[in-house]
């Protein structure tokens, strides 16, 4: 540390105003009455993600072109970014701070790019060997089951997956049309997960029918039930059983299996969820004139907004505030369906306004095929007697999917009812984490309320307004010709451009502003972080102001 | 000390002429000084420049008001400017003209040397028909008439000062040196 | 090599011989051919220097400050309003103790716009701390550029060389041209004691508190005082090398002179012709040219003038509200040491020709004037 110099004569001085020693003797930190400190928050997008993907981090790593690490950052929370990047309803974007500045970041497109890179670069997934003695049975190979199996395997547990179908994937394989999620992607994702650790598969084995839960309990230390909802709910109207009326899920399964389907000239899809949209759009691809009939209005439709828009673009008609009332057959064939007009009444327990029939008002549509897509149900045969169920779903007692039976966990749609892939992924991972804590008798992690930043904490002077980078899509005419994937994914330069838009809310991305602007050179730049040298920090808070992303908090001295 | 004043119009090369002249005398081991009458140069405007020649150091640093000799690059100037102002009796007037000076008033008090420098300049492609650059020709005439400086010294100075068409300038100077008409 | 060249180019040739590394200039009026020729020399490789073309004289001086602070020789030239625009940075060059050399062509300051000579532009920089040397011939101009770098680097102060517009700047005369190889023996390559250096970082021009500023200014004055001797020594050394010397003042026929005319610039030269003429007439008169204006050569001036009976100061400048500036300087230099009466004459402002006749008028008045005039004596003004 330098010493203070006091000149006794001009002869000791340089002839011009020139520094001749450092000023480190002057510990200006003692002048400080407020203290800045690095305080990284949680980005709001991450909080918005059901799987808690570390979105800010992987986007930051993309900006650094550190793609393998970026992919790894997703995999910590979601083993199938190639899937969720395509089909997720992306609640993260609703939380994106950038939407208060110009437009939210196109997070799913970035996620998909990384997911696809992870499939291309097979060496990115490092295989884990069995290192623990515990064995877990995972029942169902949809997103919940795959996720649970994956994270258990990552921790060295031995996993046996049970699937009643010949091929794995559940809803991913049977319920989502190829133009949104190609079978090839599903195959590669599953193969990557299965190859990642000690996972064995028993396909064409229906737990509850072919093998009882009791038997599994004997053989395995725990069981995870990710059965999904694979049965379409019935309409409950006269003449529902019979020709011309087809459950939506079965139709989708045929389509995804490559079977020839012919819904006829006029198809009607009853329902307003994603299955309804998928069915309608698949039916359009056979050349049918398709109308979606939904008992509420567009606003209440549970389907992903993008899917509704795409369906409209593809020529699907919508008829709101109506429900099928009666089926009219002629010559053994479906001829007409009578619909009851509805209106919106009081809100129900879901908060949406309940549809109520308008007395005496009906109309008819000529229909060749009527698809039911008003919801799906679980097949709980052989399960109900072992774990407590309610409303045809498995009842859970805790966040991690604990059930009435001590070593049986459940997650995904079979617990929540129809939800999303990312919810199922989250459920599978939580169950895996909990099982690990049970097996290792570990304590529950302390839960802290995460701090986030909003647009007020962003120094927007550092950003230019730009538009969201849109993903290239094939034209509608092309799309309607078959099941080619519509969304063709970011080009490399689009990926970079979109990643560059990220504010990195509340999380340092090493932009160096604090280090550059500190007038007292009191910010120390370390390998992959900064620290404040409080010997010299005068508490001017320039760093706080100039941090574009609100990573530095303050605290008054002496308090 | 010899003091020479040069009159011309912007573009004819009067200023350079006075400088070449100084340089020519310098080559004959004289002390010299040359400078323009300071103005904002415009093409066509009347301009003056000055040359002092001496056997000893020249100390006067001001314009020349009573010249020993005159060089006039444009005969029209005689009508518009009082070019002979202060000219010492018996001094030379070297004038660019295509007319005979035999009958001129000027011959009464001064020695006159006439040269059709325009024609010579045009002949050797110096300047344009509208604005012939006559400075080298008139210096040839000056040397030929006054014999104050040798043709060789003038030619050497021209070689030093003139940036282009050195050979043609040389020829124009020689032709003027040989064809100057003097009225003493 | 002897050559007939103009005064502006005498400056350029002086610079050419000095291993200058940075030349910076604003190239438009009131700029002169000084930098025109230098830029050609740079382009042709005759000078190994960086020519920095800038958008104003302020920037030109700033570029010189930067270059000089980085430890190389830097030069610029300007005139009139251009010099005034540099004013702030002129101070900086002094405070930073940078040995920059500047050639100022004395031009009158507008309005009205003028391109003709007087000394008010340079004299209004009197107090900034630059040395000022006034030249009267092309030879002296070229030689003084070379001396200026040596002086500047010795005392670590910038030097301004001053020459009259047109009467010197555009006048062609014979100059014995200096060559770099010869000058190098007199002026070795510049090695800065302190400079901006990434390998030895220091801050320059930082804040100076009242506990240091005073001393730094004291040191500038000390350097100025030292410069009085340095200018003389460098001139003597120059003479040893090249056979020409100029002194800090130049007395002419002052021995036994009753009246001494004090002059500067080209007027000094013309005056000597007048002195000879008057001496021939038996009038005991001499002249004293002030070559070094800052630092003011008080002792040399006293030495010469204290022996006269009358002193007449010719000023081609005026400090409005007081008097001619050389007049004030002479009075202040002699104050309390002699009671020789001092007369002040102002003439030649804005390029008005100062002919032998004008000088003779001043001299005649100086000879005959009995009472010391407190008022300004205007010579040649149309009243």
Contact between C173 and B62 using a beta-carbon 8 Å cutoff: no
Q: Do C2-242 and C250-378 fold alike per CATH?
A: yes
- Within 8 A of A17 by CB-CB distance, chain C residues are 95-96, 204-208, 212, 216
pLDDT tens digit sequence for A151-202: 999 999 999 999 999 999 999 999 999 999 999 999 999 999 999 999 999 9
Q: Is A18 on the interface with C (CB under 8 A)?
A: yes
CATH architecture entry for C250-378: 3-Layer(aba) Sandwich (3.40)
Instruction: Give the gap in angstroms from C-alpha A520 to the nearest C-alpha of chain C.
Output: 14
Structurally, chain B folds into a number of domains equal to: 1
- Rg of chain B on CA atoms, in Å: 15
Sheet of B92-96, strand order: B181-183, B111-115, B92-96, B69-72, B2-9, B46-54, B31-36, C172-176, C2-6
Contact between C171 and B33 using a beta-carbon 8 Å cutoff: yes
Please, what's the largest Cα pairwise distance for chain A? 119
Task: Give the separation between CA B91 and CA C211, rounded to whole angstroms.
Answer: 73
Domain ranges of chain C: 2-242, 250-378
Contact between C212 and A13 using a beta-carbon 8 Å cutoff: yes
Q: Would you place residue A234 in the very low, low, confident or very high pLDDT band (cuts 50, 70, 90)?
A: confident
A61 vs C208, more confident: A61
C381 contacts C351 by C-beta, under 8 angstroms: no
Task: Using the predicted structure, report yes or no on whether residue A23 has a pLDDT greater than 90.
Answer: no
Mutate to test the interface with C, among B19, B59, B149 (most CBs of C within 10 A): B59
Task: Using the predicted structure, report yes or no on whether residue A2 has a pLDDT greater than 80.
Answer: no
So what's the pLDDT on residue B78?
Answer: 84
Q: What is the mean pLDDT of chain A?
A: 93
Mutate to test the interface with C, among B21, B53, B62, B86 (most CBs of C within 10 A): B62
So what's the pLDDT on residue A396?
Answer: 94
CATH of the domain at B10: 3.40.920.10
Q: How buried is B44 (Cβ within 10 angstroms: 0-12 exposed, 13-18 middle, 19+ buried)?
A: exposed
Q: What is the mean pLDDT of residues A17-43?
A: 92
So what's the pLDDT on residue A20?
Answer: 87
Please give the torsion angle defined by the CA atoms of residues A92, A94, A96 and A100, in that order, rounded to the nearest 10 degrees: 180
Contact of chains B and A by CB distance (3 or more pairs under 8 angstroms): no
- Within 8 A of A10 by CB-CB distance, chain C residues are 215-216, 218-219
**Class of A135-230+378-439 per CATH?**
alpha beta
Contact between A7 and C215 using a beta-carbon 8 Å cutoff: yes
Q: What is the mean pLDDT of residues B65-87?
A: 91
Q: Which of helix, strand or coil describes residue A196? A: coil
Q: Which of helix, strand or coil describes residue B101? A: coil
Q: Would you place residue A332 in the very low, low, confident or very high pLDDT band (cuts 50, 70, 90)?
A: confident
| Partner-chain residue, chosen from C97, C207, C218, that has the shortest CB–CB distance to A10 | C218
Task: Give the separation between CA A81 and CA A117, rounded to whole angstroms.
Answer: 10
Task: Using the predicted structure, report yes or no on whether residue C354 has a pLDDT greater than 80.
Answer: yes
Q: Would you place residue A394 in the very low, low, confident or very high pLDDT band (cuts 50, 70, 90)?
A: very high
A492-500 vs A107-120: helix crossing angle, rounded to 10: 130
So what's the pLDDT on residue A149?
Answer: 98
A183-194 vs A143-154: helix crossing angle, rounded to 10: 30
pLDDT tens digit sequence for C305-347: 999 999 999 999 999 999 999 999 999 999 999 999 999 999 9
Task: Using the predicted structure, report yes or no on whether residue B184 has a pLDDT greater than 90.
Answer: no
- Within 8 A of B47 by CB-CB distance, chain C residues are none
Instruction: Give the gap in angstroms from C-alpha C67 to the nearest C-alpha of chain B.
Output: 35
Q: Identify the sign of the CA torsion A475, A481, A486, A490.
A: negative
Task: Using the predicted structure, report yes or no on whether residue B38 has a pLDDT greater than 90.
Answer: no
C131 contacts A49 by C-beta, under 8 angstroms: no
Q: What is the mean pLDDT of residues B133-150?
A: 96
In Å, what is the CA distance from A157 to each residue of A77, A150, A191?
Answer: 17, 10, 18
Q: Which of helix, strand or coil describes residue C6? A: strand
- The residue with tokens 């229906």 is A206
Span of B11-15, B36-40, B120-124, C379-383 with lowest mean pLDDT = B36-40
B151-161 vs B14-26: helix crossing angle, rounded to 10: 120
Task: Give the separation between CA C353 and CA C257, rounded to whole angstroms.
Answer: 26
The model scores a pTM over 0.80: no
- The DSSP bridge partners found for residue A238 are A326
Task: Give the separation between CA B30 and CA B53, rounded to whole angstroms.
Answer: 6
Q: Is A519 on the interface with C (CB under 8 A)?
A: no
How many Å from the N-terminal Cα to the C-terminal Cα in chain B? 22
Residues in C 175-204 with any Cβ partner in A closer than 8 A? 194, 202-204
| Partner-chain residue, chosen from A7, A14, A17, that has the shortest CB–CB distance to C95 | A17
Contact between B65 and C115 using a beta-carbon 8 Å cutoff: no
Task: Using the predicted structure, report yes or no on whether residue B180 has a pLDDT greater than 70.
Answer: yes
Residues 6+ apart with CB under 8 A from A271: A248, A279, A292, A294, A371, A372, A373, A374, A375
Q: Which of helix, strand or coil describes residue A129? A: coil
Contact between A17 and C156 using a beta-carbon 8 Å cutoff: no
Residues 6+ apart with CB under 8 A from B114: B95, B97, B99, B100, B101, B180, B181, B182, B183
Q: Quote the ipTM score.
A: 0.92
Torsional class of A11: left (φ above 0), alpha (ψ -120 to 50), beta (otherwise):
alpha
Among chain C residues, the shortest Cα distance to A9 is held by: C215
- Within 8 A of A15 by CB-CB distance, chain C residues are 97, 156, 216, 219, 223
- Binding partners of A (≥3 Cβ pairs within 8 A): C
Q: What one-character-per-residue DSSP string does C215-282 give?
A: HHHHHHHHHHHHHHHHHHHHHHHHHHHHS----SEEEES-TT-SEEEEE-THHHHHHHHHHHHHHHTT
Quick one: DSSP state of residue C16?
A: H
- Within 8 A of C174 by CB-CB distance, chain B residues are 26, 31-32
Give domain C2-242's CATH number out of 3.10.129.10, 3.30.1490.20, 3.40.30.10, 3.40.50.970: 3.40.50.970
Q: What is the mean pLDDT of residues A98-124?
A: 97
Q: What is the mean pLDDT of residues B113-126?
A: 95
Task: Give the separation between CA C247 and CA C252, rounded to whole angstroms.
Answer: 12
Closest residue by Cα to residue A147 from A424, A488, A533: A424
Contact between A7 and C212 using a beta-carbon 8 Å cutoff: yes
- 3-state class percentages of chain B: helix first, strand second, coil last, to nearest 5: 35, 25, 40
Task: Using the predicted structure, report yes or no on whether residue B41 has a pLDDT greater than 70.
Answer: no
Q: Would you place residue A430 in the very low, low, confident or very high pLDDT band (cuts 50, 70, 90)?
A: very high
Q: What is the mean pLDDT of residues A69-85?
A: 97
Task: Give the separation between CA C58 and CA C62, rounded to whole angstroms.
Answer: 6
For strands C342-346 and C377-378, give the pairing.
parallel
Give me A79's structure tokens: 């083993």
pLDDT tens digit sequence for A90-108: 999 999 999 999 999 999 9
pLDDT tens digit sequence for C145-198: 999 999 999 999 999 999 999 999 999 999 999 999 999 999 999 999 999 999
C118 contacts C314 by C-beta, under 8 angstroms: no
| Partner-chain residue, chosen from C170, C267, C354, that has the shortest CB–CB distance to B38 | C170
Domain ranges of chain A: 135-230+378-439, 236-246+259-372
Rounded percentage of chain A residues whose pLDDT exceeds 90: 82
So what's the pLDDT on residue A330?
Answer: 84
Contact between C203 and A15 using a beta-carbon 8 Å cutoff: no
Q: Identify the sign of the CA torsion C352, C357, C359, C363.
A: negative
Residues in C whose CB is inside 8 Å of some CB of B read 2, 4, 115-116, 136, 164-168, 170-174, 266-267, 269-270, 272-273, 351, 353-356
**Peptide bond preceding C208 in cis form (omega within 30 of 0):** no
**Class of A236-246+259-372 per CATH?**
alpha beta
Give me A132's structure tokens: 């623990």
In Å, what is the CA distance from A470 to each residue of A107, C204, C338?
Answer: 11, 52, 92
pLDDT tens digit sequence for A469-498: 999 999 999 999 999 999 989 999 999 999
Task: Give the separation between CA C143 and CA C146, rounded to whole angstroms.
Answer: 5
Task: Give the separation between CA A336 and CA A368, rounded to whole angstroms.
Answer: 8
So what's the pLDDT on residue B18?
Answer: 96
Task: Give the separation between CA B99 and CA B115, rounded to whole angstroms.
Answer: 9
- The residue with tokens 């080559």 is B27
Q: Which of helix, strand or coil describes residue A362? A: strand
In degrees and rounded to multiples of 5, residue C20 shows phi and psi of -75, 140
Give me A147's structure tokens: 């996720």
Task: Give the separation between CA C317 and CA C329, rounded to whole angstroms.
Answer: 13
So what's the pLDDT on residue C95?
Answer: 96
So what's the pLDDT on residue A240?
Answer: 81
Contact between C354 and B60 using a beta-carbon 8 Å cutoff: no
Rounded percentage of chain A residues whose pLDDT exceeds 70: 100
So what's the pLDDT on residue B80?
Answer: 80
Mutate to test the interface with B, among C1, C2, C3, C4 (most CBs of B within 10 A): C4
Instruction: Give the gap in angstroms from C-alpha C140 to the nearest C-alpha of chain B.
Output: 13
A488 contacts A495 by C-beta, under 8 angstroms: no
Domain ranges, residue B12: 2-183
Contact between C204 and A17 using a beta-carbon 8 Å cutoff: yes
């Amino acid at each position: 540390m330098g010493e203070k110099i006091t000149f006794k004569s001009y002869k000791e001085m340089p002839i011009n105003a020139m520094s001749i020693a450092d000023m480190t003797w002057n510990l200006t930190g003692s002048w400080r009455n407020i203290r800045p400190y690095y305080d990284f928050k949680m980005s709001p997008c991450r909080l918005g993600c059901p799987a808690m993907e570390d979105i800010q981090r992987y986007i930051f790593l993309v900006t650094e072109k550190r793609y393998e690490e970026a992919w790894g950052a997703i995999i910590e929370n979601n083993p199938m970014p190639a899937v969720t990047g395509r089909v997720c309803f992306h609640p993260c974007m609703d939380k994106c701070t950038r939407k208060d500045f110009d437009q939210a970041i196109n997070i799913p497109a970035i996620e998909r790019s990384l997911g696809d890179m992870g499939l291309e670069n097979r060496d990115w997934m490092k295989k884990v060997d069995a290192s623990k003695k515990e064995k877990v049975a995972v029942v169902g190979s949809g997103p919940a089951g795959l996720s649970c199996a994956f994270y258990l395997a990552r921790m060295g547990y031995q996993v046996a997956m049970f699937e009643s179908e010949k091929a794995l994937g559940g809803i991913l394989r049977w319920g989502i049309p190829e133009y949104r999620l190609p079978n090839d992607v599903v195959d590669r994702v599953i193969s990557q997960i299965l190859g990642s650790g000690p996972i064995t598969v028993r396909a064409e084995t229906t737990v509850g029918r072919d093998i009882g839960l009791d038997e599994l309990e004997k053989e395995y230390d725990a069981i995870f039930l990710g059965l999904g909802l694979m049965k379409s709910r019935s309409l409950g109207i006269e003449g529902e059983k019979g020709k011309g009326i087809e459950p939506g899920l079965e139709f989708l399964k045929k389509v995804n299996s490559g079977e020839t389907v012919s819904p006829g000239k006029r198809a009607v899809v009853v329902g307003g969820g994603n299955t309804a949209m998928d069915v309608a759009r698949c039916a359009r691809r056979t050349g049918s004139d398709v109308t979606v009939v939904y008992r509420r209005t567009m606003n209440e439709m549970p389907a992903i907004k993008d899917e509704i828009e795409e369906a409209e673009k593809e020529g699907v008609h919508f008829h709101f505030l109506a429900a099928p009332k009666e089926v009219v057959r002629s010559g053994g064939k479906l001829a007409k369906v009578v619909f009851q007009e509805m209106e919106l009444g009081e809100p129900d327990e879901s908060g949406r306004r309940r549809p109520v029939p308008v007395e005496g008002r009906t109309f008819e549509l000529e229909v060749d095929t009527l698809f039911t897509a008003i919801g799906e149900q679980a097949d709980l045969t052989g399960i109900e007697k072992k774990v407590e169920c309610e409303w045809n779903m498995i009842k859970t007692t805790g966040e991690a999917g604990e059930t009435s039976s001590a070593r049986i966990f459940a997650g995904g749609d079979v617990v929540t009812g129809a939800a999303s892939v990312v919810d199922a992924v989250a459920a599978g991972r939580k169950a895996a984490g909990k099982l690990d804590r049970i097996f290792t008798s570990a304590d529950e992690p302390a839960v802290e309320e995460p701090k986030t930043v909003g647009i007020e904490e962003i120094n927007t002077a550092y950003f230019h307004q730009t538009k969201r980078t849109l993903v290239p899509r094939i034209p509608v005419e092309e799309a309607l010709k078959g099941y080619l994937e519509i969304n063709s994914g970011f080009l490399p330069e689009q990926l970079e451009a979109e990643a560059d838009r990220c504010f990195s809310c509340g999380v340092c991305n090493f932009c160096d502003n604090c280090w550059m602007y500190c007038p007292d050179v009191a910010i120390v730049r370390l390998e992959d972080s900064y620290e404040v040298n409080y010997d010299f920090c005068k508490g001017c808070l320039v760093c706080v102001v100039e941090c574009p992303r609100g990573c530095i908090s303050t605290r008054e001295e002496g308090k | 000390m010899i003091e020479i004043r040069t009159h011309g119009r912007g573009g004819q090369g009067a200023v350079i002429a006075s400088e070449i002249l100084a340089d020519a005398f310098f080559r004959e081991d004289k002390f010299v000084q040359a400078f323009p009458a300071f103005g904002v140069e415009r093409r066509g405007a009347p301009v003056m420049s000055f040359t002092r020649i001496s056997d000893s150091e020249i100390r006067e640093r001001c314009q020349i008001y009573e010249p020993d000799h005159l060089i006039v690059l444009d005969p029209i100037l005689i009508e518009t400017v009082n070019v002979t102002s202060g000219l010492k009796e018996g001094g030379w007037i070297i004038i660019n003209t295509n007319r005979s000076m035999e009958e001129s008033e000027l011959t009464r008090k001064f020695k006159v040397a006439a040269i059709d420098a325009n024609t010579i300049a045009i002949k050797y492609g110096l300047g344009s028909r509208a604005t012939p650059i006559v400075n080298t020709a008139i210096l040839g005439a000056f040397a030929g008439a006054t014999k104050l400086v040798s043709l060789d010294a003038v030619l050497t100075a021209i070689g030093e000062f003139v940036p282009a068409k050195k050979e043609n300038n040389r020829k124009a100077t020689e032709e003027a040196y040989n064809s100057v008409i003097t009225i003493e | 090599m002897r050559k007939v060249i103009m005064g502006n180019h005498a400056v350029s040739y002086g610079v050419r011989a000095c291993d200058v590394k940075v030349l910076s200039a604003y190239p438009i009026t009131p700029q002169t051919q000084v930098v025109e020729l230098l830029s050609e020399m740079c382009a042709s490789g005759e000078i190994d220097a960086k020519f920095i073309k800038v958008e104003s004289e302020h920037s030109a001086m700033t570029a010189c400050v930067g270059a000089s602070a980085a430890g190389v020789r830097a030069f610029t030239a300007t005139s009139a309003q251009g010099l005034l625009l540099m004013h702030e940075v002129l101070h900086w060059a002094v405070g930073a103790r940078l040995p920059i050399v500047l050639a100022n062509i004395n031009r009158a300051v507008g309005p009205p716009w003028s391109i003709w000579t007087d000394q008010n532009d340079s004299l209004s920089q009197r107090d900034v701390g630059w040395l000022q040397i006034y030249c009267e011939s092309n030879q002296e101009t070229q030689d003084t550029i070379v001396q200026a770098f040596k002086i500047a680097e010795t005392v670590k102060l910038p030097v301004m060389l001053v020459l009259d517009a047109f009467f010197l700047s555009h006048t062609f005369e014979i100059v014995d041209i200096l060559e770099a190889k010869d000058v190098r023996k007199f002026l070795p390559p510049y090695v800065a004691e302190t400079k901006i250096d990434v390998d030895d970082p220091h801050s320059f021009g930082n804040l100076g508190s009242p506990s240091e500023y005073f001393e730094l200014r004291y040191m500038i004055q000390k350097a100025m005082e030292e410069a009085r001797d340095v200018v003389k020594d460098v001139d003597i050394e120059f003479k040893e090398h090249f056979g020409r010397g100029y002194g800090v003042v130049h007395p002419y026929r002052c021995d036994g002179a009753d009246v001494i005319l004090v002059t500067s610039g080209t007027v000094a030269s013309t005056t000597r012709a007048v002195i000879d003429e008057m001496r021939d007439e038996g009038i005991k008169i001499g002249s004293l040219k002030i070559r070094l204006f800052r630092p003011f050569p008080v002792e040399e001036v006293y030495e010469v003038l204290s022996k006269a009976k009358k002193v007449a100061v010719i000023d081609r400048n005026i400090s409005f509200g007081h008097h001619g500036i050389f007049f004030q300087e002479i009075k202040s230099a002699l104050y309390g040491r002699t009671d020789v009466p001092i007369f002040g004459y102002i003439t030649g402002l804005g390029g008005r020709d100062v002919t032998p006749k004008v000088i003779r008028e001043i001299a005649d008045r100086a000879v005959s004037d009995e009472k010391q005039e407190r008022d300004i004596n205007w010579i040649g003004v149309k009243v």
